[in-house]
């Protein structure tokens, strides 16, 4: 008997109904279900990519693999179609499902002159015991909703690289290169790679190109202008940075573990999502 954790979209009726079906199916086969990823043999995410990101944040610190059932729209991360969830769980149960590892970011907020973090919003992603956050897609520093552009001093491996005047700055993983970083005209990276993507959002300067950095790079974004900036990790608000405060991003020591069918590949997914037909 295995223990399976479930994470579902909180507001979609289809996700709730499907979660109930999955729970009943697992119980009938002798498996226990729980809401806690710690100690679980598998975490099943029922929702869209946003739900999958929350599931990975819960599972990654414990090394728990995640299987995503897509009841959302885009489905870059949630590979399993709702009509095939039983087949996917059978393959996992029989040990026939490959588990791939994806690079994660380790993210920390630094307050100038004070190691304490800002008070976090209620819906902020969970922080680890040492105050770091894990991100599968990206960490973003950008202007406040009512603000104009921000000035961000970018430090790479503790050396000043450049100060950007922009609407924001994205630090993304290869997995996240097809998310927010893509909309900022960042490069598309195969998610099997290990690298950091540094992509400015609407930069007001001549040098406006995204950078692809080694996974060993330590990226530090310091608010250097007069305006504050907001921070989001995998699309969820973490807090606000003021002048002198910083966001520090490195590759995480742990990885996300995603259960796959082994039947699809990144290039085929990319073609399907962008409607790239053969001519």
β 3-8/42-47 pair status? parallel
Looking up tokens 């290169």 gives 177
The conformation of residue 225, written as its DSSP 8-state character, comes to S
The answer to whether residue 15 sits within a structural domain is: yes
pTM of the model: 0.91
68, with CB counted inside 10 A (0-12, 13-18, 19+), is buried
- Collect all residues with Cβ–Cβ distance below 8 Å to 256 and sequence separation of at least 6: 56, 59, 60, 66, 101, 102, 103, 104, 136, 175
Do 139 and 223 reside in the same domain of the chain? Answer: yes
92 and 107: one domain?
A: no
Strand locations in the chain, DSSP E? Answer: 3-8, 32-34, 42-47, 66-70, 99-110, 133-135, 138-143, 150-156, 159-166, 168-172, 196-201, 211-213, 219-223, 229-233, 236-241, 246-259
Same domain membership, residue 119 and residue 236:
yes
Pair (49, 148) in one structural domain: no
Q: 246 and 143 in one domain? A: yes
121-126 long-range contacts (CB < 8 A, ≥24 apart) are 121/237, 121/238, 121/239, 123/236, 123/237, 124/233, 124/236, 124/237, 124/238, 124/239, 125/54, 125/57, 125/233, 125/234, 125/236, 125/238, 126/57, 126/58
Q: What is the mean pLDDT of the chain?
A: 90
Picking from 53-57, 121-125, 250-254, which range would have the lowest pLDDT averaged per residue?
121-125
Residue, of 59 and 77, whose pLDDT is higher: 59
DSSP strand pairing (42-47 vs 66-70): parallel
Residue 279 lies in a domain: no
- Measured CA to CA, the distance from residue 12 to residue 17 in angstroms comes to 9
Same-domain pairing of 140 and 32: no
Confidence of residue 279 (pLDDT cuts 50, 70, 90): low
Q: Which residues pair with 223 in a beta bridge?
A: 152
Can you tell me the mean pLDDT for 115-123? 54
Is the pLDDT reported for residue 49 higher than 70? yes
Q: Which two tokens stand for residue 267?
A: 């290039």
Say yes or no to pLDDT of 120 above 60: no
My answer on whether 121 and 83 are in the same domain is no
Split at pLDDT 50, 70, 90, the class of 273 is confident
Residues 180 and 70 in one domain: no
Are 153 and 249 in a shared domain?
Answer: yes
* Distance (Å, whole) CA 196 – CA 7: 28
Give the domain CATH number at 79: 3.40.50.10330
HSE-CB for 78 with a 13 A CA cutoff: 29
Residues 206 and 73 in one domain: no
Task: Report the domain count for the chain.
Answer: 2
CA separation, residue 206 to residues 163, 165, 230, 268 (Å): 12, 10, 24, 35
115 in the same domain as 34? no
| Among 131, 86, 89, 125, CA closest to 109 | 131
Domain containing 56: what range?
A: 3-98+260-274
Residue at 93 is within a domain: yes
Question: Helices 13-28 and 85-93: crossing angle, nearest 10°?
Answer: 40
Pair 20, 119 in one domain:
no
Task: Give me the CATH number covering residue 196.
Answer: 2.60.200.30
Q: Is the pLDDT of residue 74 over 60?
A: yes
**Considering the domain boundaries, does residue 45 fall inside one?**
yes
Domain contains 134: yes
Q: Which of 20, 36, 49, 234 is catalytic?
A: 49
Q: What is the pLDDT of residues 161-207, one digit of tens each?
A: 999 999 999 999 999 999 999 999 999 999 999 999 999 999 999 89
What is residue 276's predicted lDDT score, i.e. its pLDDT? 82
- Residue 154 belongs to some domain of the structure: yes
- Is 123 inside a domain boundary? yes
265 domain-assigned: yes
How far apart are alpha carbons 170 and 14 in whole angstroms? Answer: 33
Other Cβ atoms less than 10 A from the Cβ of 172: the count is: 31
Q: Is 87 a known active-site residue?
A: no
pLDDT of residue 249: 97
């Amino acid at each position: 008997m295995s223990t399976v954790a479930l994470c579902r979209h909180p507001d979609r009726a289809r996700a709730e109904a499907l979660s109930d079906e999955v729970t009943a199916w697992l119980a009938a086969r002798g498996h226990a279900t729980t809401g806690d990823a710690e100690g679980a043999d598998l975490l099943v995410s029922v929702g869209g990519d946003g739900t999958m990101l929350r599931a990975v944040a819960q599972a990654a610190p414990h090394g728990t693999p995640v299987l995503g059932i897509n009841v959302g729209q885009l489905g870059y991360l949630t590979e399993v179609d709702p009509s095939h969830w039983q087949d996917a769980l059978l393959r996992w149960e029989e040990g026939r499902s490959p588990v791939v590892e994806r690079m994660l970011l380790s993210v920390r907020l630094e307050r100038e002159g004070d190691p304490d973090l800002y008070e976090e919003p209620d819906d902020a992603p969970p922080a680890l015991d040492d105050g770091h956050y894990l991100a599968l897609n990206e960490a973003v520093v950008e202007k406040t909703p009512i603000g104009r552009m921000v000035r961000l001093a970018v430090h790479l491996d503790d050396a000043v690289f450049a100060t950007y005047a922009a609407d924001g700055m994205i630090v993304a993983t290869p997995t996240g290169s097809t998310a927010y970083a893509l909309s900022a005209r960042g490069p598309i990276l195969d998610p099997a790679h290990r690298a950091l993507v540094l992509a400015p959002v609407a930069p007001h300067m001549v040098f406006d190109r995204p950078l692809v950095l080694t996974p060993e790079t330590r990226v530090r974004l310091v608010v250097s202008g007069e305006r504050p900036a907001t921070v989001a990790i995998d699309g969820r608000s973490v807090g606000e940075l003021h002048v002198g405060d910083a966001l520090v991003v490195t590759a995480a020591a742990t990885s996300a573990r995603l259960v796959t069918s082994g039947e699809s590949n990144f290039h085929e997914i990319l073609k399907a999502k962008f409607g790239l037909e053969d001519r």
